[in-house]
Structures are given as C-alpha cells and as structure tokens.
Amino acid sequence: MSLLIYLDGAYVPREEAKVSVFDHGYLYGDGVFEGIRSYDGRVFKLMEHLQRLFEGAHHIMLEVPITLEEMAEATLETMRRNNLKNAYIRIVVSRGVGDLGLDPRKCPRATVVIIADKISLFPQEHYEKGLAVMTAATRQRCSNTLEPRIKSLNYLNNILVKIEAAHAGMMEAIMLNSQGYVVEGSGSNVFIVNKQGELITPPMYLGILEGITRNTALELARGEGIPVKEDIFTRHDLYTAQECFLTGTAAELIPVISIDRRVVGKGVPGPLTQKLMTLFHAYTHSNGTPVY
C-alpha cells in the first residue's frame, strides 16, 4: 500500500503528491514547517508544534487556509490512513502558487502538506555509545536578519553545516554565532554538563530555535532537581564539558562523546545524559494526543 499524503484537503498516494513548480515554497523557500513525533499511537506535543507553526506563519504574514483544530485533525487522520503508531510527521505550509516574482500577494492560497513516515537521523548504536561531532566553520545566520523562532522552509544555513559534517566524516556539526558562542546543531539544540554538575544550554537571546524537545529536556531535568542554566558558553566549554548531548524532534536525545576529536568526559554517555534519555523515553511514550 502506497503512503498517503495530505495535500490541500485530499489524501493522495505518494506518487501523486505533487506541488506546482510555481509554488513560492519551491521557488523561494517561502513558508514554514514543523517536524513532530508520534509514539505508541500518541502524537507528542501536537498542539505545541501546531501553535509554533501558526505563530511562524503569522509572523511572515502567511494565511494558513485551515484552522489549527482542522490541522490537528488532518495530522491525526494522516496517521490513521497510513496505519501508523510510531512515526515522524512533517507539516509544510508554503506560500502557494504565484508567478516568478517575489511578491507574496501574487499567491492567492497557501499550500498545505502533511507527511507521516519514518525517520532515522542516526544509527541506534550512537544512542547507546555516543556520537562524534565537530564545530562548523559556517556560522549561524544573524538573528537580526531572520527571526530564529520561525521554522522557515529556507534551511540553507543548516544544510551547509550538514555538508561540512559529511565532508569531515561526521554525522553532525555544532554551529557558533558571529561572536563565537555555541548556539545549535544543524537541526538540534545543544546541552553540556559542567564540572559543577550543572546542565547548561544556550539562551534564547543568542538566536537559537526554541526546540520543543529542548524544553522537554529542561522540564524533565528541573523535575529531577538537576541544576539547570540557560547561559552562553564557548567552544572551550564544549571541549572541557563532563557531558554533552543534542536534542531535537528527529534526533530525540542523543549523547555526544567527542567534539573536534576532543573526548568529552570519559568518552562514553554520561550518567546525567543517560538518566535524561531514560526519562525522555518514558515521558514521550506515555504522553501525547491519541491517534486512534
């Protein structure tokens, strides 16, 4: 059975799910998206993801042609029609069909696509043994040029970071901003544990994406009484950290054991990281919007 894709109100086979070459999402990266996970028949943080999607659309003056509630139901129905319980869901709202000019007023109606399928960013062994990463030469784009909380379809900055990692034989790279502070991975947020046992992640004002998995990790850590700080840190702090891990909807929570070939801690996933991974797995598999 072919995968069914939600496309502007219809559920069509993957082979027939086509978007016009005049869609400004294709031509200019004009649009927003969300990645969402479902676990054991429950969509994790569905409303939080959709609220961020609609807020991003509002920011760029993109009118979503269906309501938030209709989007939620369409997301669940896409899961049902594909008989999925554990999946990665990608929602895309693009500006829609227009002409070859930039003017969004030439696009009368946005295009909405919902895909529910599988994703695996990293092999399972890296969740057990840890991941070697690098810091990228490509810097994060300045937050005064494009609001980082908008999950824009223009992901070229992140793709260049991923290309760097691939050319270096790595699976992920960590970005710095123009001031040299650590900000995020190509598609993930960054956490370290310092010598005092504090869990630290870059603050929002550096221009990072406020990841929903990031916020979940912070919430779980605080619930366990782990000291948490949202604070700036540099590459030196990465190198001297006792532990490091990345978070993201697609990546989930994955330990880092080497950065620029410097061993992190003891070179294995640290105890705090392992504890949060266990808590995260239990939390995601017992919370969420039921699909069925």
The token duo for 193 is 């544990």
CB 209 within 8 A of CB 189: yes
Q: Cα separation of 8 and 103, whole Å?
A: 22
- Report the alpha-carbon angle 277-280-286, nearest 5: 145
Look at residue 256 and give its three-state secondary structure. strand
- Buried residues in 92-131 as b, exposed as e (16+ CB within 10 A): bbbbbbbeeeeebeebeebbbbbbbeeeebeeeebbeebb
- Buried residues in 27-57 as b, exposed as e (16+ CB within 10 A): bbebbbbbbbbbbebbbbbbeebbebbbebb
CB 175 within 8 A of CB 137: no
Active centre residues (catalytic) = 151
The token duo for 118 is 């599988």
CB 111 within 8 A of CB 19: yes
The identity of residue 90, as a single letter, is R
